[in-house]
Structure 1
Amino acid sequence: MTAFDSFPLGQPGFISHILDRAAHLRGDEEKLLALEAHPDARAYVVYRDSLVVRREATGPRALLGLNEARQLGANPGTIFLGLRQGAPVFGMGISPGAVEQLLTRDDAAVSELRGMAMQGVVPASELSAIAMAKSLVNWHQRHGYCANCGTRSAMKEGGWKRDCPNCKAEHFPRTDPVVIMLVTSGDKVLLGRQKHFLPGMYSCLAGFVEAAETIEDAVRREIFEESGVRCTDVNYYMTQPWPYPSSLMIGCTARALNEDIVVDRTELEDARWFDHAEAALMIRREHPDGLAGPHPFAIAHHLLGRWVKGSDRGHGGNP
């Protein structure tokens, strides 16, 4: 199975929904404790941008039993992600020291999530739950103290909240909105590349939505700041959760009003226009110069692939 099979057009990574979030259980500590003791309870163990996995004959297994996770060194605190066919699923963290111990074992590994997702090693159906675990574990690790008074805060509501025992402030996980845009001008599409991209890879431009800014304004601003291109006719396509550390990619299309490019070199290494034929070769990894589009697990691939298929062509970038 290739990445194109795992992430068909319109289905990037991290969007599947195998869990019932069962939010009504988060405030019931007795029920949560009972769920942790459930014989079918499972957990994803997150370390930075990686997962702790069991090495098995059929490949790495990311969903671990709770006792199994603890035996591998996972932290005792668990985050309730939801129910899968009635069985509870949790997210857990792990310390650097425990990870060092795992690196000496043959039956377990600490594997980088993005690489596993791109290679199809982790089933696409599990990626949404893993994204939840990664985002929440990361948030707790970075927000252990009250931002209001500096007192050590406590995990509450199954990990979906932190309370300050001193000033009584409540803290909740946040999701950062990011716009990602396919900009077209007739039969051409605007793509850029950042310095950390793989050689030859070009993708859609993107940027964070700022305070008190609409999605449409963010699209127009980011495109102009990074490329000098003015845009109109901004339209929404779809979203993709992106747990790096906890963003929501808002996929949009827009129509360019000019084609002259002035690259912001602090943001991009390059930006250029590609015609439809060239973009199609990049999507298929058949470009004669070795140029390539974004990977199918990313929403940028689906924005570009949709346009290449023709659903956006001749409509100024509109769906």
Structure 2
Amino acid sequence: MSSRIDLGPKPRLGYTDSRLLRAAELRRDGASIAALAADPRAACYVVGGELIVLTKAEPASNPLFSVSQASTLGTPGEMIFLGLDDGAPRFGFGLAPQSAEALKERGDLVVTDLRSIAVQGLVEADHLPPIAEAKAVLHWHTRHRFCANCGAPTDVTDAGWRRDCPACKAQHFPRTDPVVIMLAVDGDRCLLGRSPRFAPTMWSCLAGFVEPGESMEDAVRRETLEEAGIACGRVRYFATQPWPFPMSLMIGCHAQALSRDITVDRDELEDARWFSRDEAAQMLTRRHPDGLTTPPGVAIAYHIIRSWVEDGIEFD
């Protein structure tokens, strides 16, 4: 690997380094949760389907509402306990999607999706992890109102972290879907792909869900082979990122490419190709001569690519 490339200050990886103490031991104590909700310091992140509600402000909007304020915004759904921020209780407050949509008419509010909030920096970065937590768990509630075992309606328990079936007594918990996201590397080249869903200029790491009974490393090799026809050997773990779209955990890796000829699975990708280290650096800094880009700095793909560009990867 050639000498180190310095790309300047590194952006913060989105949805990570939460300040909240989750205080899971309090979830089963209904009296404690009620007292926390009544605490004058208590505040809510308001989520309506894919929309997050913010109070318009400069330089950053405020995503926190008091419990009483949140209750006036529209038809309420579940309220879940997220944790404590320096002792101050934090909750996720669910709104009916149509209520959140109607709030777009208010001039004092910003109502938009979480991806836009993160990419555009509409709130302070410390708010992104608890908003992601709230969005993921509230989304789970909207899709698990009935028991998967017997079909009966379920009840919310544990401050929003469990649903119980009164008919068959089954207990249901929020789940996180593991997804591998990887950069296959061949010396001074890396493999990037394009999904039809991407912005026209963007190329990114390949990714795919980990299947039952499959290790992270095996999932990296399988997905890279399936999507681009590239066989991989050694796999190195990089980092993880919660990805609340709707409720995944992105497991970032670098992989050692063992083959060179690309065969694109057109059902999964629009295209895939090798990029040089210099090209990838230009894409990260938005200076590629063809206008090509990587994902923004809030996404783990940016950091996986940047790590390889700046420092290289050794698989021995």
TM-score normalised per structure 2: 0.95
Deviations 1:46-91 (A, max 9, x none): 1222201112354421111111111112616310000011111000
2:16 corresponds to: 15
CA distance in 1, matches of 2:233, 2:223: 13
CA distance in 2, matches of 1:285, 1:307: 17
1:102 corresponds to: 103
**Pair 1:81-2:82 in alignment:** yes
1:261 corresponds to: 262
Q: Which amino acid aligns with 1:129?
A: P
Deviations 1:223-273 (A, max 9, x none): 000000000011111100000110000001111111100000000000000
User: Bigger CA drift: 118-127 or 222-231?
Assistant: 118-127
**Pair 1:38-2:66 in alignment:** no
CA positional deviation for 1:99: 2.3
CA distance in 2, matches of 1:110, 1:158: 26
* Identity over aligned pairs, percent: 50
Deviations 1:125-175 (A, max 9, x none): 111111110000000011001111111100100100000011000000000
2:183 corresponds to: 182
CA distance in 1, matches of 2:278, 2:105: 49
**Pair 1:234-2:235 in alignment:** yes
CA positional deviation for 1:107: 1.5
Q: Which amino acid aligns with 2:307?
A: R
Matches within 5 A, 1:260-279: 260-279=261-280
CA distance in 2, matches of 1:76, 1:31: 21
Q: Which amino acid aligns with 1:131?
A: A
Matches within 5 A, 1:290-309: 290-309=291-310
Q: Paired residues, what number?
A: 310
CA distance in 2, matches of 1:101, 1:178: 34
Asked if the contact 2:49/2:95 (under 8 Å) is kept, the reply is no
1:282 corresponds to: 283
2:173 corresponds to: 172
CA distance in 2, matches of 1:257, 1:239: 25
CA positional deviation for 1:121: 1.3
Q: Which amino acid aligns with 2:263?
A: V
2:192 corresponds to: 191
**Pair 1:138-2:123 in alignment:** no
Asked if the contact 1:74/1:92 (under 8 Å) is kept, the reply is no
Matches within 5 A, 1:121-160: 121-160=122-161
Q: Which amino acid aligns with 1:236?
A: Y
SS at match of 2:105: coil
**Pair 1:250-2:251 in alignment:** yes
SS at match of 1:233: strand
**Pair 1:212-2:197 in alignment:** no
Matches within 5 A, 1:57-68: 57-68=58-69
Q: Which amino acid aligns with 2:39?
A: H
CA distance in 1, matches of 2:101, 2:121: 26
CA distance in 2, matches of 1:126, 1:57: 15
Q: Which amino acid aligns with 1:200?
A: T
CA distance in 2, matches of 1:79, 1:226: 38
Asked if the contact 2:61/2:122 (under 8 Å) is kept, the reply is yes
SS at match of 2:220: helix
Cα distance change of structure 1 residues 262 and 65 upon mapping to structure 2, 3 Å threshold:
same
SS at match of 1:103: helix
Asked if the contact 1:53/1:63 (under 8 Å) is kept, the reply is yes
Query: Unaligned stretches of 5+ in structure 2?
Result: 1-6
Asked if the contact 2:183/2:304 (under 8 Å) is kept, the reply is yes
SS at match of 1:266: coil
CA positional deviation for 1:111: 1.2
CA distance in 2, matches of 1:159, 1:48: 16
